[in-house]
Amino acid sequence: MATIPLTAPGITTHHGINADLVSKLITEATGAARAHGTPMAIAVTDSSGVLQGFLRMDGAPLLAVQLAQDKAYTAAAFGIPTDQWHEFIKGDPPLAAGIPTVPRLTVFGGGYPLRIDGQLLGGIGLSGGHYTDDMAVAQAALTACGLWSDGRSEQEEQ
């Protein structure tokens, strides 16, 4: 049987998030949530939206468990922060009525794509407070891991 080289047309190279970065993101988010005074659920997915790491802090609401996972999934699935969805759909009645009914799609803050050198590696989602709290804690974790600077995601900087 002939082997097809990995550089052949039609073959793509996939870069993924590793366990060390997943662990660091969860650790940093946990510390930021404690400093913020809000127990949260923290989810990290790969670029396919598959859960790679999760933590529900003591005292985080039960509903936050699924919301954090859905925020990470949404961010990975579309490559944009979840808070940008509202702005995107608010002036389009058919989209605004239909897209929020898509399972797992979240249209409020707390989910961010994970990008390194422009490559989408996954998503992070936080839930437990008001969505602005979730955003602040996620941004603190991303900053601590070198994935956020000057208040803008790497995607927004490009």
The residues that bridge with 124 in the sheet, in sequence order, are 44, 112
C-beta of residue 25 within 8 angstroms of C-beta of residue 44: yes
What are 157's two structure tokens?
């900087």
Residues contacting residue 133 through CB under 8 Å, at least 6 positions apart: 36, 38
Q: Does an H or E element contain 82, and which?
A: none
pLDDT digits (tens, 9 = 90+) for 18-45: 999 999 999 999 999 999 999 999 999 9
pLDDT band at 153 (very low <50, low <70, confident <90, very high): very low
pLDDT digits (tens, 9 = 90+) for 59-88: 999 999 999 999 999 999 999 999 999 888
Beta-carbon-side half-sphere exposure of residue 51 (alpha carbons within 13 Å)? 15
| C-alpha span between 57 and 39 (Å, rounded) | 6
pLDDT higher at 52 or 151: 52
**Strand 119-127 to 111-116 pairing:** antiparallel
- Helical H segments across 93-153, by residue range: 93-98, 131-144
Q: How many CB atoms lie within 10 A of CB 101?
A: 7
Checking if the pLDDT of 150 tops 50, the result is no
Q: Give the pLDDT confidence score for residue 128 in this predicted structure.
A: 98
Q: Give the pLDDT confidence score for residue 126 in this predicted structure.
A: 98
Q: Give the pLDDT confidence score for residue 140 in this predicted structure.
A: 97
Q: Out of 8-12, 67-71, 74-78, 107-111, which region has the weakest mean confidence (pLDDT)?
A: 8-12
